Chain A
Amino acid sequence: MTHKFQVNLGGIIELLSNHLYGTPEVYVRELLQNGVDAITARRAAGGDAGHIRISLLDAPTRLVFEDDGIGLTEDEVHRFLATIGESSKRGAVNQKDLLGQFGIGLLSCFVVSDEIMVMTRADSSDAVEWRGKVDGTYSVSARAGAESPIGTRVELVAKRGAEALFSAAKVNELVTRYGGLLPYPIEVVHRGGSTIANAEPPVFRRAVIERSTALAYGKQMFGEDFLDAIVLRSEPGDVAGLAFVRPTAASPGAKRSDRVYLKGMLLGDSAADLLPAWAGFVRCVVDARDLRPTASREAFYQDEMLDTAREQLARALRDHFGKLAITDEHALNNIIHVHGTWLKAMCLEDDALFRAIVDWFPFETTLGLLTLGELRRREPIVRYSPTVDGYRQVAQVAAAEGLAIVNAGYIHDAELLAKLPTLIDARVEAVSVDDIVHAFEDVALAELDAAHEMLRTADVALRPFRCIAELKCFSPETLPVMYAASQRAAFRREGKRTAEAAGGLWGSVLDRVVEANDGGDDDARIVFNHRNPLVRRLIEHAHDRGLLHHTIRALYTHALMLGHHPLGVAELTAMNESLVGLVELATLPLAVGKAKA
């Protein structure tokens, strides 16, 4: 035996009217939608319709919405106005031409009014009056002979607290926002005066749009002086619109602020469904004629057509920037200057765009700010540091050595450069401080022999820090030492430092992790600069072990700090001891002289 669900009508109305929609303001949208659909249906049947009037009346505060659409017969009133989920928008009219499809739109009026009064008349029928109440009851009465035109008239009396939503200013604002692109004129009448809320058709439906016209439209729509305007088109979904490049940098986490229309009716304020995630630097106004809305009519239904439309709009954006690289370098540079991060993200997804604009991206390099194109013209190999810390460690020396190293530690940069040789005939290498040090000029074997004692003393002094000494020649000559560590050695040092700071159980756990990952043979290096006068003096005075020991440890900690490596406890201790030791050595002759005196 089967049973039917029992429905609490009042509860359903409460649910739909107060919880389905994000804001009570949507009642205007739902009225507009019903009106437009009725007009569309009448025109499809050969009728001459196309006018909507909204009258605002006082005492009590109420709104009268009239359309000259197809109207309803008494039977239809019973079926469609009183059956939730039953939409009148069926039959002769092509479903896709209509705005509403779920038979629940009128219920949204219960958010602002406790009673809905509908007077409607279909062609060759008598007028019918329907009154619905928020408790789920309704009454229907035939109005035979009444002087009523074909169409529908909905009257709402503002319920307590909803009066502001019936004010002329508010209604005008809502009509313009929701219905500004609708194809039929919407007249708002108040205290004898009337205005047409949607007098101008949207510019983006024109076959040809001047850039200046598009930018002016953007300014009117969003109040911003945009950098550029991009025409958006997608045949699937019959989507048209404009994307405007924002004049200031957009935060990746910022909420989108667009105008998205469905058949001229505002659907929502975010095109997140329609545009790819990397398009956060544009605001757009789009109108889709063939996409399906969700039941709340605040987003598009996710289907294959939406996916295709999204791809088409992404393509339109990417093609635009690709063309700019050829037609307007200045504009492209301006946009990259403000929105480089977003454009880099686009390039990572699109190989053609990557090829077209990658040379325009500016990068911080050891030779100053250069575009990739400039860098590629100067250097046969593009060398980059994939981390900001790594870049900081090499920047001073690389600049002095005339080596061009790109700081690719910022978002997308390393990925972008790594992708370069796969798409363009270019050589690219990720470099570390270890690579830079390895490329330094070797000293002569005789000089190395002379420095042997100093280097071995350094090895002994730095053994507790798993660091070995080397001698090379590099610039600037004012820099006596440089610290270099492979990834493994850097991990070990950082791990040990963190374990020291953490202490206790967690410290010992970290220590064990570091030891387990220790290759055992990958020591860090301190590289002495043979061009530096202090280093040469140290080599000459290598027999003075005490002086050498303190100086080497002081230079070691100095090199760590220059390379932006935070000091661990043992290193801080070594720094203090070496400074005190050096001061003692320096002041010893004074003390001896005083004693003699």
Chain B
Amino acid sequence: MIELEEVRQAILRAAELPDSAAKVDALESLCREALQLNGFLDAFRGQLHLLNACKAVVRPDRMLAAYTALRSNFEQHGHDWPESLAGYMVRAGALVLSFVDSFPEIPRSQLDALFADQEQLHLARGESISVVLEARAWLELDAGNLERARDAYERLRTTPPAESWCAPCRINRQVSMLVRLDDDTAIALAAPLLDGPRKCDTVPSSTWATLLLPLARQGNWERARDYYGRAHRSALSSPQWLGSAAKVITFAAIEGSFVKGKHLLERCLPHAFEPTAKDSIRDFYVAASVFFEALGRERTTITMTTPATFPLHARDGRYDVAALRSWFEDAARQLALAFDRRNGNDFHVKRLATASDVLALRPRAA
């Protein structure tokens, strides 16, 4: 018969394993064992590790299931545990919140329930609900519900930020939200990140990409090109950030900067065929289709290095530009439909249909 001590040791060992599907399986199983042996606290610790592993291997469904089990365990037995574990509970919720809305397979009703539960949990702990408000604002923005997004943003703006937040990252995220609502305010809010002392590991490198389209829309090309150079360089060194790369590729298409755009596409493409946040993949596909739309206006073929996982992969690296545009547009449409189904509207499909309109921003040669 298995003793609780054995399970406890096994959980600790499993937590040390590199992230993989097998680790997720092992931790799920061990947490169940611990619960059956009344090792609720051991199960809680295992469940925390499980959440991180689910995120690492991009399994939002299992992450939500793990969170539900964790929440239930805490609700039933947490009153006897050290106070610090309640803080872990809150942070675990924030981790889930910031991740699962990137996947259309998670139903909206489940997301709404999660938000409500998290808001209640934060308030009960006397902690700022900014993390919940921010996640809600993102969800509404991504669903195209601009009024609701604006409301959530206003609430977020007037709520004290969570103590653990990095200030430049917090502002940067607000700038990213605002570019979908109001270019002027977004650019003004970004000023201290770009010219002032507010910097961190990711800011302002991600801010440059965020501001490319707003600056182009304003006709501020000099500044946009300056940021484009920086954002392109930054995106090349972190090609796994597909959402950020999508913004740079879109600007490359507008500018007709095909060499740089192609280079970045080649670097990012392998990541689009790995498990990752689906909203980022969707945005990347949209950007790629816009890029090939622009390129197709100038040439019919191109050589590219693509991963073997790319369905159109050609060993000689020669591609028909129209075929590439078509593939990316179709792939983007599939994801847009999935997100629209979740959101109960046609926001993304419509957005995709008009995505190439940004090419009209391209300044005419003097």
Contact surface of A with B, Cβ cutoff 8 Å: 434-435, 438-439, 442-445, 448-449, 452-453, 455-456, 459, 470, 486, 521-522
Contact = CB atoms under 8 A, between A and B. Distances in A.
B303 A452 contact: yes
Which 7 A-B pairs have CB atoms at the shortest separation, nearest pair first?
A452-B303, A442-B259, A449-B303, A438-B233, A445-B258, A452-B317, A486-B237
A452 B266 CA distance: 12
22 contacts: A434-B237, A435-B233, A438-B232, A442-B260, A443-B259, A445-B258, A445-B302, A448-B259, A448-B262, A448-B303, A449-B301, A449-B303, A452-B305, A452-B317, A453-B317, A456-B317, A459-B305, A470-B263, A521-B238, A521-B239, A521-B240, A521-B271
Nearest to B258: A445
B350 interface: no
A548 to B, nearest CB: 16
Report whether over half of chain B's contact residues are helix, strand or loop; otherwise say mixed.
helix
Contacts of B303: 448-449, 452
Interface string B254-280: 000011101100000001000000000
Given A442-B259, A444-B259, A521-B238, 18 more contacts: A434-B237, A435-B233, A438-B233, A438-B236, A442-B260, A443-B259, A445-B299, A445-B302, A449-B301, A449-B302, A449-B303, A452-B303, A453-B317, A456-B305, A470-B263, A521-B239, A521-B240, A521-B271
Which interface residue of B259, B262, B301 has the most chain A CB atoms within 10 A?
Answer: B259
A456 B304 CA distance: 10
Report whether over half of chain A's contact residues are helix, strand or loop; otherwise say mixed.
helix
Nearest to A441: B259
Interface of B: 229, 232-233, 236-240, 258-260, 262-263, 271, 299, 301-303, 305, 317
Given A452-B303, A456-B305, A445 B239 contact: no
B319 to A, nearest CB: 11
Contacts of B262: 445, 448
Contacts of A449: 301-303
Nearest to A444: B259
Contacts of B236: 438
Contacts of B258: 445
Contacts of B317: 452-453, 456
A434 B236 CA distance: 11
Which interface residue of A435, A444, A445 has the most chain B CB atoms within 10 A?
Answer: A445
Contacts of B260: 442
Contacts of A455: 305
Contacts of B240: 521
A459 B263 CA distance: 14
A443 B271 CA distance: 26
A539 to B, nearest CB: 12
A455 B302 CA distance: 15
B259 A445 contact: yes
B237 A522 contact: yes
Contacts of A453: 317
B223 to A, nearest CB: 14
A517 B258 CA distance: 33
Contacts of A443: 259
Contacts of A459: 305
A72 to B, nearest CB: 67
Nearest to B271: A521
Contacts of B301: 449
A437 to B, nearest CB: 10
Contacts of B238: 521
A489 to B, nearest CB: 9
Contacts of B305: 452, 455-456, 459
A452 B299 CA distance: 17
Contacts of A522: 237
A413 to B, nearest CB: 21
Nearest to B299: A445
Contacts of B237: 434, 486, 522
Which interface residue of A443, A449, A453, A486 has the most chain B CB atoms within 10 A?
Answer: A449
Nearest to B298: A445
Which interface residue of A434, A442, A444, A521 has the most chain B CB atoms within 10 A?
Answer: A521
A439 B236 CA distance: 13
Nearest to A489: B237
A521 to B, nearest CB: 6
Nearest to A451: B303
A486 B271 CA distance: 20
Contacts of B271: 521
A150 B286 CA distance: 106
Contacts of A445: 258-259, 262, 299, 302
B219 to A, nearest CB: 22
A438 B305 CA distance: 19
A439 B260 CA distance: 11
A588 B117 CA distance: 77
Contacts of B232: 438
Contacts of B263: 470
Nearest to A459: B305
A448 B265 CA distance: 15
A449 B271 CA distance: 23
Contacts of A470: 263
B194 to A, nearest CB: 12
Contacts of A435: 233
Contacts of A434: 233, 237
A448 B305 CA distance: 12
Nearest to A486: B237
Nearest to B236: A438
A452 B319 CA distance: 12
A435 B262 CA distance: 19
Contacts of A439: 229
A448 B240 CA distance: 24
A439 B233 CA distance: 9
Contacts of B229: 438-439
Nearest to B304: A452
Contacts of A448: 259, 262, 303
A458 to B, nearest CB: 11
A453 B237 CA distance: 24
A453 B271 CA distance: 23
A574 to B, nearest CB: 22
Contacts of A444: 259
B65 to A, nearest CB: 29
Contacts of B302: 445, 449
A522 B317 CA distance: 22
